[in-house]
Structure 1
Amino acid sequence: MDFVEVRVVAPRELADILVAELAEVGYNTFEDNDEGFCAYIDEDQFAADAVAEIMSRYEGLGEVGYEHRVITRQNWNAEWEKNFEPLVIADKVSVRAPFHAARPDLEYEIVIMPRMSFGTGHHDTTALMITNQLDIDHQNKRVLDMGCGTGILAIMAVHLGASYVLAVDVEPWTAENAADNAQENNVQDKVEARLGDISALEGEEPFDIILANINRNVLLEDMAAYGQYLKPNSPILFSGFYEEDLPLIREAAEQHGLRYESHRVQNHWVSAICRK
């Protein structure tokens, strides 16, 4: 399967809104750049009219332009190698590709080869989730990483002491990528990558921690299941939505026994912590 890259030129404040809009219609990988961002989707799911309709809503709010091209799957790693820069999160966590130099001066290191999976730490939601993870006791915990992408949050959970992480994603290449990245970080014995949606949890015992960095609509749709699969007095970390959506997420969480505790904001994106 090949992919379509939509390259968007837009001011930062508008680019964040457009990312959220494109995520709603199926784009699941985003890459920031100096001019705006790139969004990626399976070629068979690409609809030029849908992109044009989204862009038309924001005419007059700033200089916006876009173009698209097809990227063959075998060229995906080359695209990331050209653009993936090493990253430091919260002055403690190094996120890098295998071809970057190590950072032994930092407390934690995560090595990621993203392929076509979302989650390199460069997007605000991933960085926010990792920052919130640093405040959560993972020692000997059983963790669920729902919508795992590259597996970056699952790997972070093991670095923080988790004994087992179930990493779930709906895309086959993403589940494969999460498994590969777990092996790259020598945590393959504690991370299980599983293909599926929330129904893939059937028969599972409740978890000590849930990590759910997806998008607003999926979070709302699956909120009842999150309440079901989380142990009492245990935390769930949400992200993938904007600050203005926090009241909606909070209301839905509290309807299913998940009490709001705190949240962080970065460039209008949010990561919230709730507890059952």
Structure 2
Amino acid sequence: MDFIEVTLKVNADFADILTAELGELGFDAFVENEDGFSAYIEEDKYSQQELEETLNRYADLVQATYTARKIERQNWNEEWERNFEPLFIGGQVSVRASFHEKPAAAKYDIVINPKMSFGTGHHETTTLMIENQLTLDHQGKRVLDMGCGTGILAIMAGELGASQIVAVEIEDWTVENARENAELNGYASIDVRLGDAEAIAGEKPFDIILANINRNVLLEDMPAYKAVLKPKGWLLLSGFYTEDLPQIQQRCEELSLAYVSHRTKNNWVSAIFRAS
């Protein structure tokens, strides 16, 4: 499968808005640059008309221009190697590619080779989720990562001592990448599955569920998460904006999932809820 790279020149204040909008169109990998960002989508999912309609909706607010080109899957490594800078999250977690040196101060060291998968830690939602993970006891816990992307949050759960980890993704090539990254970090035992919320139906309950997806999917799939969450279990959510938090909270309250806390970064949110 080949991909379409769309490179947008856009003011940084609006980059997050357009990233979220493109996510709704099926774009699932994003790389920031000095003038805006590049977004990637499988060729058969790309619609120039949908892209232009989305940009036109924001024409009064955002001065955005774009270019699009096709790239072969095997050339993805060249793309991200040129743009992927190592991160240090929460004063404890190093996120780097295999060609970066491990920082001496890192308590946890995660190596991610993302290929075409979302989740290098560079997006605010991934960073926020990891910061929230650091606040919870994972030791010996059973953890579920929905929409796992590169597998970074599942790997973080392993670093924090989780004993059983299931990760779910809807794209076969993303599942492949998550498995590769899990093995690269010494967590080949992570059960990476292809599917959506139906893939966890009837599962043995989890102590912690991680879901960094988007608002609409979270709202739709929340009952499926609740069905496999242990009493007093933790639900960590992200992929939505500050203004979406009340709707997320309301949906959780309907399912007896109590709001605990949230953190924000550039208007993105990661919230923690707990089952009764």
Q: TM-score, normalised by structure 2?
A: 0.98
1:69-88 pair list within 5 angstroms: 69-88=69-88
Check whether the contact 2:138–2:160 (CA below 8 A) recurs between aligned residues.
yes
Aligned residue number for residue 245 of structure 1: 244
Distance in 2 separating the partners of 1:224 and 1:62 = 36
Structure 2 residue runs of 5 or longer lacking an equivalent are none
Deviation of residue 106 (structure 1)? 1.2
Deviation of residue 271 (structure 1)? 0.2
Aligned residue number for residue 113 of structure 1: 113
Distance in 1 separating the partners of 2:253 and 2:43 = 38
Distance in 2 separating the partners of 1:3 and 1:256 = 39
Check whether the contact 2:208–2:229 (CA below 8 A) recurs between aligned residues.
yes
Structure 1 residue runs of 5 or longer lacking an equivalent are none
Distance in 2 separating the partners of 1:235 and 1:202 = 18
Letter in 2 for 1:71: I
Deviation of residue 63 (structure 1)? 2.4
Q: CA-to-partner distance for each residue in 1:182-218, whole Å, 9 max, x for gaps?
A: 11101113x1111110111123111000000001111
Aligned residue number for residue 99 of structure 1: 99
Aligned residue number for residue 255 of structure 2: 256
Q: CA-to-partner distance for each residue in 1:106-139, whole Å, 9 max, x for gaps?
A: 1110000001100000000000000000001101
Secondary structure of the corresponding residue to residue 237 of structure 1: strand
Distance in 1 separating the partners of 2:22 and 2:235 = 26
Give 4+ residue runs of structure 1 displaced > 2 Å after superposition: none
Distance in 1 separating the partners of 2:105 and 2:31 = 27
Letter in 1 for 2:85: E
Q: CA RMSD in A?
A: 0.9
Deviation of residue 259 (structure 1)? 0.8
Q: Which moved more, 1:138-147 or 1:56-65?
A: 56-65
Check whether the contact 2:213–2:238 (CA below 8 A) recurs between aligned residues.
yes
Distance in 1 separating the partners of 2:223 and 2:106 = 38
